[in-house]
Chain A
């Protein structure tokens, strides 16, 4: 490989191979596209779920209601116990009056009319801010269990933990992740199999040519390269199709989220660098599959 003419030669030969079996090449490229789209979709779901959980996590609080009889010492003990726990960002004590004042703000003016001040619920409590980075499900589970245990503390009347609502979301993300991963692996494997078979057929259809090249003194890499380039091209075509599909899906999804759920999504639904990964990953998958095929069927 000592001249600038070689890359052009390799690309031309690879293009001739593509033209030799256009349908097979198209099927291979489409399978890669499908696999990559699914992987991209999975990445999108996981990325956005993580984003959503982080957003929710910022408002995630644990309310520990204390018994009326709780002494300042008991309150301090509970507070100390809370502050010592991992995943807890801040603990703020609210007196009965402060809690009542906050609840009054939550109730509508109509309801408040003629309502006795004492009827508005108010309870001395500790408002606990949970670390927003608390992303993994295991942590929340541990925290939920721990808060259940808090209920048995003498001075604690009740514990209200918003994160319990998140458990469903976490479970759904978990299922999506598992199904997505399995499907991605299966699809990627079949995409690789398609490329592998296409390259094998290309090698067989070029047996005469390979022999001549070998006899006139072509190096093994010179003989193999066009086949590898063909695999890479199939992968690149797949990646481009997948990027287009995901872009389309992204636009549609963003519109859906905005229109139906009236949510103002202020972050991109695409994980950063995903397009780059796809454009690298596609040719990499193609190259790997063709390298396996060439290694197995092109003996020089």
Chain B
């Protein structure tokens, strides 16, 4: 679903946010993205959403090379990627229903269909009774569930979450993570950027560790963390990612695909 090949991101001030990043996330996979502040977690999410462009390298999403994506195609790519933030980013002037409906309104969906989909989702998230409330009236946990609903309502293939539990107390955070894992079980590819090791260890999902823009560890699902982050010796991204993901598709073949697309 998501493939990165030797991706570099260098900012004009000379900072290297991502260095030679190569990785692959399969369809329906749940992945934690972790690392200290400034490791490049958010940068990676921003690249996937094409809020920024990579300085070098190729990024494929659903087989499409987004490195060569034209500006006018970006909105249509984003409709396939839901995003959830630490600070929820709900619009305070709009009701819960309206906040979620945005994702469908932009696609030109009719009112009745929007109504049906939003209410169905709200009921599923136990927020049916809050449809008419404003974000300010909701608890933090409810607000994050609304934000997740907004990201999910148009049934995207990928869901990105940037520190989704950062503003929540541990129990609520746990609840939100369970929800995200459940979402991935239904076929959505989920990437959760977090620096909360408690969550990572508790769930034992695949974990990508970034440090100074480099992929320093890629722990497969179910693997106990064997090395501490600080002990990880940077390994060349390509080899490491392939070895860790257990994917046997030759890199050369994938690269050829990427070139075909571009």
Which residues does A use to contact B, with CB under 8 Å?
1-6, 8-9, 16, 20, 208-209, 211-220, 222
Contacts and interface: CB of A to CB of B under 8 A. Distances in A.
20 contacts: A3-B110, A4-B110, A5-B108, A5-B110, A5-B111, A20-B93, A208-B92, A209-B91, A212-B90, A212-B91, A212-B102, A215-B51, A215-B89, A216-B79, A216-B82, A216-B151, A217-B75, A217-B76, A217-B77, A217-B107
Interface-central residue, A8, A20, A217, by most chain B CB under 10 Å: A217
B221 interface: no
B78 A2 contact: no
A6 B89 contact: no
B148 to A, nearest CB: 13
B75 A3 contact: no
B110 A222 contact: no
A9 B105 contact: yes
A125 B2 CA distance: 101
Interface of B: 49, 51, 72, 75-80, 82-83, 89-94, 102-103, 105-111, 150-151, 154
Given A5-B111, A211-B89, A212-B91, A219 B106 contact: yes
Given A218-B75, A219-B75, A213 B89 contact: no
A212 B72 CA distance: 17
Contacts of A222: 106
Consensus secondary structure, chain B interface: loop
B187 to A, nearest CB: 20
A207 to B, nearest CB: 11
Given A208-B89, A208-B91, A216 B103 contact: yes
Closest 3 CB pairs of A and B: A217-B78, A3-B108, A217-B79
Contacts of A214: 75
A79 to B, nearest CB: 75
B68 to A, nearest CB: 19
B224 to A, nearest CB: 36
Nearest to B153: A216
Nearest to B92: A208
B74 to A, nearest CB: 8
Contact of B108 (A6, A209, A211): A6
A8 to B, nearest CB: 8
Nearest to A9: B105
A1 B90 CA distance: 24
Nearest to A2: B108
A161 B141 CA distance: 92
Given A216-B102, A217-B107, 12 more contacts: A5-B105, A16-B93, A208-B89, A209-B93, A209-B94, A212-B91, A213-B106, A214-B75, A215-B83, A216-B106, A216-B154, A217-B77
Contact of B106 (A4, A16, A218): A218
A12 to B, nearest CB: 10
B49 A3 contact: no
A212 B108 contact: no
A5 B109 CA distance: 7
B163 to A, nearest CB: 16
A225 to B, nearest CB: 11
A216 B78 CA distance: 6
B205 to A, nearest CB: 25
Contacts of A4: 110
A3 B78 contact: no
Nearest to A222: B106
A208 B77 CA distance: 21
Contacts of B154: 216
A135 B185 CA distance: 83
Contacts of B78: 215-217
A172 B31 CA distance: 81
B176 to A, nearest CB: 19
